[in-house]
Amino acid sequence: MTQRVFVDANVLYSRTLRDWLFLLRVESSGGMFQIHTSWDVINEAGARLRDDHPEWPGAGISSLMKKIQEIFDEIITVYPGGQVEGIADEGDWHVHHAAEACHAGILLTEDTGFESDDTQYEVYTCDEFFVEVEKSAPEVVGRVVKRQVPFWAKRGGKQLPDALREASCPKFAEVALNHIQKLAMASG
């Protein structure tokens, strides 16, 4: 069964996490999971990116917004508001309400504090979620690694596993490294 995943702003903010989520979604053709978010989440990610990168031209943010609109299965606009028992950060209440409204089975976030007993979703970090994708479909992860290796090789310096570790995905970095080692053995 295809899993419905609601994506929080901190995942969209991180280029590494966003790229991996999008590539896994595309490479699996949506058969494993669908991705959902809200305009509030998109706006939050855009505002954080703008604050951290005031030097970017308008096309930097608008091209990302276009990509988000193209790849997400749903951008939810209608959901309730209000306080949520067990979620202390009032800035996360809208995330909870939107995830519930789209019937998400997973809330993908790097935030802690979604402790409410009143949820229909499970909370996953990207590290946890990407490792689960590997367990279910290692061939999908392998194809994405194969696509990513040339990009990182051209860059020099920091490599794919390093970027994943920096993005708080240490377990998935080891998964990616194992795929890279298999590719190296197969080609040489």
For 159-185, the pLDDT digits (tens) are 899 999 999 999 999 999 999 999 888
Neighbours of 60 (CB within 10 A): 12
Q: Which of 102, 84, 122, 86 is nearest to 39 (CA)?
A: 102
Whole-angstrom distance, CA of residue 77 vs CA of residue 98 = 8
The mean pLDDT value of the chain amounts to: 92
| Closest CA relative to residue 24, chosen from 182, 163, 124, 145 | 145
Output the pLDDT for position 161: 94
Q: What per-residue confidence (pLDDT) applies to 60?
A: 85
The whole-model pTM stands at: 0.93
Tell the burial category of 149 from Cβ atoms under 10 Å away from its Cβ (0-12, 13-18, 19+). middle
Interacting residues of 164 by C-beta distance below 8 A, sequence separation 6+: 16, 20, 170, 172, 173, 176
**What does 144-177 look like in DSSP terms, one character per residue?**
HHHHHHHHHHHH-SS-HHHHHHHTT-HHHHHHHH
DSSP 181: H
Could you give the CA distance from residue 17 to residue 128 in angstroms, rounded to a whole number? 12
Residues 55-97 have pLDDT tens digits of 988 888 889 889 999 999 999 999 999 998 888 889 899 999 9
Q: Strand locations in the chain, DSSP E? A: 3-7, 33-38, 74-76, 106-108, 122-124
Token representation of residue 105: 């089975």
Question: Is a pLDDT exceeding 70 seen at residue 188?
Answer: no
Which residues are CB-neighbours of 142 under 8 A, at least 6 positions away? Answer: 179, 182
